[in-house]
């Protein structure tokens, strides 16, 4: 039985009679094809990407698995509508913490109308897209069974300043969400080295993506998002392999025509810089604690 996803943090949601994606509870995510050719373009991208031989497996893992398309009743009751059949990225994850990051200093692209450019320009100016090269589109952070999730509203996320973004990236890897209602308490970032850091952590995955984008000229990923997700329970047990980075939203992908996608690459580098700073700070704090402990033992 199809239902609205429980852990969607951005985009259109299939609730209250609105059109949005659905899940089937067995690992599939059904995304309705958007209007104005956006849906057909996203379907064309997935079809083309899946058939390409030159995409390394290490890069393919950053993209949701694609299972074609199916037509069935839309979530808003408007009738039959084609849907992309994709991998449900949070399937099987218990209490996932999720962050959707829109990459690029601009979200418009060549060939669109002046009205669309102005709409995107206005939104990019009001958010951190132009200043940072990326913006947060939505996030949820799991604290505990008692505290539940910290999940700021869409309106609140859209108003994030540069410092708000920095703080949210810290909160994303903190041990609890009790600080969410206390503006004077800084998040502890206690999970930063396990989630962001390490050989299989978020930072390592982002750097691997960056290296591909420094060379690839096949596509330009306009208005595409990086999705970051992990399970806190696994992180507390010292496991880092559960942290995942995925690319999503391909309705505005264009041919690269042999040119590097500097818009996406620049935003990705900026996100890496922010997360690198948090990891460096966490490592410094960790080494400081170890030094203090060594000093106590000597006495």
- The answer to whether 2 and 22 have CB atoms below 8 angstroms apart is yes
CA distance linking residue 76 with residue 150, whole number of Å: 28
Q: What angle do CA 139, 263, 162 make, to 5 degrees?
A: 45
Of 127, 141, 134, 126, nearest to 101 by C-alpha is 134
For strand 253-255 and strand 134-144, is the pairing parallel, antiparallel, or unpaired?
unpaired
Residues 108-128 as b or e (16 or more Cβ within 10 Å = b): bbeeeeeeeeeebeebbeebb
Residue 169 phi/psi, 5-degree rounding, is: -65, -30
CA distance linking residue 95 with residue 161, whole number of Å: 27
Q: What residue ranges do the domains of the chain occupy?
A: 22-87, 96-296
Residues of the chain with pLDDT under 70: 176-185, 238-241, 287-299
- The answer to whether 154 and 102 have CB atoms below 8 angstroms apart is no
CA-based R_g, the chain, Å:
20
Q: Which 3 state secondary structure label does DSSP give 150?
A: strand
CA distance linking residue 14 with residue 118, whole number of Å: 28
Assigned token pair, 52: 């390409």
DSSP 176-217: -SGGGG-TTS----TTHHHHTSSTTSHHHHHHHHHHHHTT--
Q: What is the pLDDT of residue 9?
A: 87
Q: What is the pLDDT of residue 182?
A: 53
The per-residue pLDDT for range 287-297, each reduced to its tens digit, is: 665 555 455 55
Q: What is the pLDDT of residue 78?
A: 83
Residue 295 phi/psi, 5-degree rounding, is: -65, -40
CA distance linking residue 106 with residue 172, whole number of Å: 25
CATH 3.90.1170.50 fits 96-296, yes or no: no
Q: What is the pLDDT of residue 136?
A: 97
* Residue whose pair of structure tokens reads 């700073």 in the numeric block: 277
CA distance linking residue 83 with residue 78, whole number of Å: 13
Q: What is the pLDDT of residue 187?
A: 78
């Amino acid at each position: 039985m199809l239902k609205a996803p429980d852990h969607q943090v951005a985009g259109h949601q299939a609730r209250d009679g609105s059109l949005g994606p659905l899940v089937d509870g067995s690992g599939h995510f059904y995304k309705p094809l958007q209007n104005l050719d956006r849906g057909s373009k996203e379907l064309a991208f997935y079809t083309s990407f899946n058939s390409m031989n030159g995409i390394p497996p290490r890069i393919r893992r950053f993209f949701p698995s694609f299972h074609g398309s199916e037509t069935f009743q839309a979530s808003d009751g408007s009738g039959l509508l084609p849907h992309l059949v994709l991998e449900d990225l949070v399937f099987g994850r218990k209490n996932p913490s999720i962050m959707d990051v829109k990459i690029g200093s601009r979200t418009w692209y060549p060939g669109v109308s002046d009205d669309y450019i102005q709409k995107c320009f206005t939104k990019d100016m009001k958010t951190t897209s132009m200043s940072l090269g990326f913006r947060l589109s939505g996030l949820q952070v799991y604290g505990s069974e008692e505290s539940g999730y910290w999940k700021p509203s869409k309106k609140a996320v859209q108003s994030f300043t540069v410092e708000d973004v920095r703080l949210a990236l810290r909160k994303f890897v903190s041990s609890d969400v009790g600080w969410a209602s206390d503006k004077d308490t800084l998040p502890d970032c206690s999970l930063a080295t396990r989630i962001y850091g390490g050989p299989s952590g978020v930072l390592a995955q982002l750097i691997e993506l960056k290296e591909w984008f420094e060379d690839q000229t096949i596509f330009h990923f306009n208005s595409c998002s990086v999705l970051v997700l992990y399970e806190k329970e696994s992180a507390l047990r010292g496991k880092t392999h559960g942290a995942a980075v995925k690319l999503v939203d391909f309705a505005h992908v264009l041919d690269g025509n042999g040119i590097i996608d500097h818009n996406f690459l620049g935003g990705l580098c900026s996100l890496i810089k922010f997360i690198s700073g948090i990891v460096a700070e966490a490592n410094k704090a960790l080494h400081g604690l170890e030094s203090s402990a060594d000093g106590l033992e000597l006495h």
